[in-house]
A and B are shown apart, each in its own frame.
Chain A
Amino acid sequence: MISQIVSAVGVVIAGVFVCALYYWLSDKILQAVFPVPVDNVRAASVNLNRRATVRPWLFLGPALILLVVYLVYPVVATFILSFYDRSGGDFVGLANYRWAIQDAQFRQSIFNNILWLAVVPAACTFFGLVIAVLTDRIWWGNLAKSLIFMPMAISFVGASVIWKFIYEYRGGTETQIGLLNAVVQAIGGNPQVWISLPFWNNFFLMVILIWIQTGFAMVILSAALRGIPEETIEAAVIDGANGWQIFWKIMVPQIWGTIAVVWTTITILVLKVFDIVLTMTNGQWNTMVLANLMFDWMFRGGGDSGRSAVIALVIMAAVTPIMIWNIRQANKEMGGH
């Protein structure tokens, strides 16, 4: 264990050193290859231009290599693999896609993903907005925000343990030690095995993600609310609008852009939800989602890269519209720079 810590520390230092050395050394080499003689203005300006041409690529090099090897190439490779058999050796055309359409578990996953998409972003944005409005009005609002924001730091696995304890069920006459069953019992209901209740168990898993992500929505929306020009609200007050009208007709329309950003960010997160389902049910009792099904097929029976790739592509297809929108927005902003 000690040796592992020492080697980890060593790697950090060595890694940073190697990185720094690369940038420093490549810059020195660049200067040596294209010298700028003081007595020859013409040669100097030619070489300065050459340096300016090469230098951006030296700076970008390592980042571009990582992006291409770990993201660009795999996206292309996954697309190609989806037309090949389980080991990636033989071309099978659309067989994997045909399998997916007919597979009951795949359909179940699509259905559950749609359920997640319909509930989680909406719930997070709604609660986030309500809490942002409420906490902006009290003196201990920042403390309250911190507490609601805190689950953001907790891993999905940790959060799953936390909530599994709440959903805990004890059979027979044993005391219910799970909070939910204890409450249900106290108000006269029957304790349930919540995470294996078909259909409804999806919602018990969603609660975990809502608990984690509401703080994120709250922070972003709270910043947007504070940015609303005060004149618009004052004008509405003078015109005799009540609080409800001011909120829905003056404030919400002015933060639509931010609401869209929060909504899409959580949508992307929901499409990739994996840890929560893995640790709570591992897809049993009809809770399977695409990311888990994909992981399952990566290793099931030695792994089936074709089917797994098809499932990954479905997730990719779902985020593509958001991706295009983001790139357009970024290009628009860049126009000003």
Chain B
Amino acid sequence: MSAVASLRRIGLPRLVVHLSVLVICIIWLIPTLGILVTSFRDAGQIAASGWWTAFTGAAETSAARLGDPSTAKQNGATYVITGSVFEGGKGGAVRAFGTRVAAPTEFAVGKAADLGDGETLTINEDGSYTYSKNAPFEGRGKRVYLSVATPPSFTTENYRTVLTSQGIGQSFVNSLTVAVPATIIPILIAAFAAYALSWMEFPGRALIIALVVGLIVVPLQMSLIPLLKMYNEIGNFFGVPSRSYAGIWLAHSAFGMPLAIYLLRNYIAGLPREIIESARVDGASDFEIFVKIILPLSFPALASFSIFQFLWTWNDLLVAMVFLGTGKDQLVLTGALNALLGSMGGKWEILTASAFITIVVPIIVFFALQRYLVRGLLAGSVKGG
């Protein structure tokens, strides 16, 4: 009997477990679902009703004018105007109506509402109405306010807007420009270092390993001020911009280096000694051993690290804010989203669509390569993100 099977035997009844996990999953999913649904809704509907009503349709307030008194028909002592509130307008289903703009849901549909002065008004769900009075109508046609249920409408317009006019499309390319080289460059460098720290004897090896382990947790904040000064000085000295893609690639590579070396060293040091020794006996140099044996065998560890590094560089805001400019050609997705939060606060059609574009790439990477991510986490859970 495995530990898992033993676990099954103890504790709460099955149904309670199923239900509680289901509830937890729903709680965990709802926030993301909220922006996904909202990003496909029409801007007017987003402001009018919560996203959870998106599939049942929203209630919008609209105004209509009843027929002119000249169209009234006399029926005994009462005068009656009939027609439809949707005349000349779009259709829908009336849910409630009122005579004041502040109270568009004062009266229920289908029932005669007493408006005072001997007037009664009945509006049906399909918009047809009967307006009657015990005396002749005067003045112009009466204004009524309606709460109209509009069918749910979904649109991809928000995505088109943010990708083109809000610069998210350009930022998407910028983020890729940062993340891909900043993922690939450190792998090779770290792999060579990890091999040296695993299978080569030299003085100071233990010290370097201790240094690497220590550097894993050094907060980024410790590096920012001197590096910012250094970048500015280099920029001034050579007359080049101090904020450049090359600068951020090197910064990301260096910040990811301790974890990369640590993860890869743990893996490479665990490879069977016989393989490496027999290759040495066959006369292979360390360089050949590394390229022909170590690299192919270390694929799982390399994959784990590259997923980490890609998620970290794609999702990073702080390093990009310090080492990259805020111009159109350098603003990454996280920075663009942060800027939109400031300038577009409350315009949720823009914010949700932009947010979804920024999270879609990491989520695809996550679901496609989850296996390697978990393996990496289990191997390297000493770094704090």
User: CB within 8 Å of B: which of A4-38?
Assistant: 4-5, 7-8, 11-12, 15-16, 19-20, 23-24, 27, 31
Does residue B189 face the partner (Cβ distance < 8 Å to A)?
Answer: yes
Instruction: Verify if B112 is at the interface (C-beta below 8 Å from A).
Output: no
Quote the shortest CB–CB distance from B60 to chain A (angstroms). 11
Interface size on B, residues (CB 8 A): 132
Closest CB-CB distance, A176 to chain B, in whole Å? Answer: 7
Q: What count of chain A residues pass the 8 Å CB interface test?
A: 131
Cross-interface CB contact of A233 among B3, B202, B211, B363, cutoff 8 Å: B3
Could you tell me if B25 and A175 are in contact, using CB atoms closer than 8 angstroms?
no
Which of B85-93, B135-143, B248-256, B298-306 lies on the face that meets chain A? Answer: B248-256
Question: How far apart are B35's CB and chain A's nearest CB, in angstroms?
Answer: 5
Q: Is the CB of B223 within 8 A of A75?
A: yes
Give, as a whole number of angstroms, the nearest-CB distance from A220 to chain B.
Answer: 6
| A220-B381, A279-B341 known; A237+B9 contact, CB < 8 A | yes
Closest to B260 in A: A63
Are B1 and A234 interface neighbours, CB within 8 A?
yes
Is A70 touching B219 in the complex (CB atoms < 8 A)?
no
Question: Is B228 on the interface with A (CB-CB < 8 A)?
Answer: yes
**Distance in Å from the Cβ of B93 to the closest Cβ of chain A?**
18
Decide: B225 and A146 in contact? CB cutoff 8 A. Answer: no
Query: Is A319 on the interface with B (CB-CB < 8 A)?
Result: yes
Cross-interface CB contact of B317 among A8, A152, A155, cutoff 8 Å: A155
In the bound complex, CA of A81 to CA of B221 (Å): 13
What's the A-B contact tally at a CB cutoff of 8 Å? Answer: 380
Contacts of A70 in B (CB 8 A): 223, 227, 250-251, 254-255, 257
Contact A266 B206, beta carbon cutoff 8 Å: no
Let me know if A71 and B210 touch, CB within 8 A: no
Judge whether B161 is part of the interface by a CB distance below 8 angstroms: no
Whether A193 sits at the interface, judged by CB under 8 Å, is no
B135 to chain A, nearest CB (A): 35
Find out whether the CB atom of B6 lies under 8 angstroms from the CB atom of A155: no
DSSP class of B's interface residues: helix, strand, loop or mixed? helix
Say whether, besides A70-B227, A272-B219, A137 and B384 are in contact (CB < 8 Å): no
* Cross-chain contact A67 with B212 (CB below 8 angstroms): yes
Mostly, the A contact residues are helix
CB-defined interface of A260-286 with B at 8 Å, one 1/0 digit per residue? 011011111101101100110000000
**Cα A57 to Cα B196 with chains together (Å):** 8
B287 at interface, CB cutoff 8 A: yes
B196 touches A162 (CB 8 A): no
A216 at the interface (CB under 8 A from B): yes
With A60-B208, A137-B8, A230-B2 already in contact, the answer to whether A330 and B213 are too (CB < 8 A) is yes
What residue of chain A has the Cβ atom nearest to residue B220's Cβ?
A272
Closest to A275 in B: B317
Asked if B222 contacts A244 (CB within 8 A), the reply is no
Instruction: Decide yes or no whether B146 CB sits under 8 A from chain A.
Output: no
* In the complex, chain A residues 278-337 whose Cβ is within 8 Å of any chain B Cβ: 278-279, 290-291, 294-295, 298, 305, 308-309, 311-313, 315-316, 319, 322-323, 326-327, 330-331, 334, 337
Contact A243 B11 (CB under 8 A): yes
B348 touches A150 (CB 8 A): no
Given A162-B34, A295-B318, residue A268 in contact with residue B217 (CB < 8 A): yes
Known: A59-B196, A63-B261, A323-B217. 9 other contacts (CB 8 A): A74-B227, A137-B11, A153-B311, A157-B334, A162-B35, A265-B383, A309-B225, A316-B222, A323-B214
**5 smallest A-B Cβ distances: which pairs?**
A268-B384, A243-B11, A70-B254, A155-B315, A243-B10
